[in-house]
Amino acid sequence: MVKFAKSALLVTFLLAGLVGARPAGADMIAVGDAFPTWEMQDQSGKKLSSADMAGKSYLLWYYPKAMTSGCTAEGQALRDAHPQFVSRGVEILGVSFDDPKDNAAFAQAENFPYRLLSDDGALAVQVGAATSRKQGYARRISYLVGPDGKVLQAYGSVSPSRHASQVLADIPGG
């Protein structure tokens, strides 16, 4: 009976996609570690990759869903601080599970001067923004990545309205 119960439980976890899934907040990449390689499509349909960003610093901020209140507040704060990011040599890249069309509408509605990328969940799982590729949305986390591709700061808890100023304070030489 115990053997059957264990097998039934394993099947349940497999069907639910929970085997190998990580709890929220687990496995964020540590400061100083290399950020994984990635390639995603932006809101205009153009591909962007970590190779394209080599030699540049960037903030990669995950947001759960385009056009929602928290994501809009965070995006607006980053938009308003965009000139300060540019002057400090940091490119802002928003990332969600939204498709390019939804990201384009979001960027246009909010006049975002930066790219919004569509993740199929693969990178999100690697960086701790999702527990599985089947998850419907990403957690609100961010990474500040240096020109060498290493994590300068990891933000596992983000306040949408204060995140831009928090990151600006953490930019080396800023």
Query: What is the structure's pLDDT at 2?
Result: 43
pLDDT band at 12 (very low <50, low <70, confident <90, very high): very low
User: 91: which 2 tokens?
Assistant: 């490119």
In sequence order, the 6+-apart residues with CB closer than 8 A to the CB of 35 are: 29, 50, 60, 127, 143, 145, 149, 150, 151
Q: What is the pLDDT of residues 106-137, one digit of tens each?
A: 999 999 999 999 999 999 999 999 998 888 89
- pTM higher than 0.85: no
Q: Which CATH architecture has domain 23-170?
A: 3-Layer(aba) Sandwich (3.40)
Q: What is the pLDDT of residues 62-105, one digit of tens each?
A: 999 999 999 999 999 999 999 999 999 999 999 999 999 999 99
- Percentage with pLDDT > 70 across the chain: 84
Query: What is the structure's pLDDT at 157?
Result: 87
Catalytic residue IDs? 71
Query: What is the structure's pLDDT at 27?
Result: 83
Sorted by where each begins, the domain ranges of the chain are 23-170
Closest among 137, 96, 136 to 118, alpha carbons compared: 96
Statement: residue 38 has pLDDT above 70: yes
In sequence order, the 6+-apart residues with CB closer than 8 A to the CB of 54 are: 147, 149
Query: What is the structure's pLDDT at 24?
Result: 40
CB of 129 within 8 A of CB of 97? no
Statement: residue 8 has pLDDT above 80: no
CB of 68 within 8 A of CB of 97? no
